[in-house]
Structures are given as structure tokens and as C-alpha cells.
Amino acid sequence: MNIARASLQGKRFWVSQLNEVSSELEWWLGAPERRAKLEQTLYEISAKNNERMEAFYEKHPKLKPSYAKQQADALRERADQIEQQEIEYRLEEYRQKRISELQKILVRVRENAN
């Protein structure tokens, strides 16, 4: 299909492909910055929530979870962090692979666009 489009559209087709590949490459390259911003936002939300909960427990100490419950929650949180690290590792692997593929495609498309 793309071969037919390239024949009909000529250079316009390759310029369009160049724009699409460049756009996707830029998106993948910007992923770490977007992720860092998201993590910062989530950290700030979590910190505010923790402050609110501590203030609540100061006013209502009987509602504060037991030490055992707090330990169990901390262990669950740590388990979630370990799982998240594995997911992030796999996503970063995929991101690097996709960037490499797009860079190779970009070289070929630039050759055809010129």
C-alpha cells in the first residue's frame, strides 16, 4: 500500500512519512521528562495526603491504625514498588528498542525524501 502511495504522491509521501517518524521519535525521547513530572506530581499529592492523615490522627488518635496494620501496609507498599520497578524496566527496554527502530527508519525515510 505504501509503495503505491509513494508512487502516486512522490516526494510529498516521503515528507509526510518523515514528519510522522520524527514526531513519534520526539515523543519517545521526551518520555523520561514526562514521567519525571508525573512522579513529582504524585509525590507532592502523596506528601499532602500524609500530612492530612497525620493531622487527622492527631485529632482522632483512636482511629489511627495499629502498629501491625501500619507494618503490613508498609510491606504492601514495598511490594508494589518492587513490581513497579520491574514494569518500568520493561517499559524502558521497549522505549529504547523503539527509539533505535525509529532512528533507523528515519535514516531511510530521509534518503527517500531528498
What pLDDT is recorded for position 8? 65
Closest CA relative to residue 95, chosen from 12, 35, 49: 35
Asked if residue 51 lies in contact with residue 44, where contact means CB atoms within 8 angstroms, the answer is no
pLDDT band of 83, cuts 50, 70, 90: very high
CB–CB of 105/24 below 8 Å?
A: no
* pLDDT band per the 50, 70, 90 thresholds, residue 5: low
How is the chain split among helix, strand and coil, in percent rounded to 5?
95, 0, 5
pTM greater than 0.75 (yes/no): yes
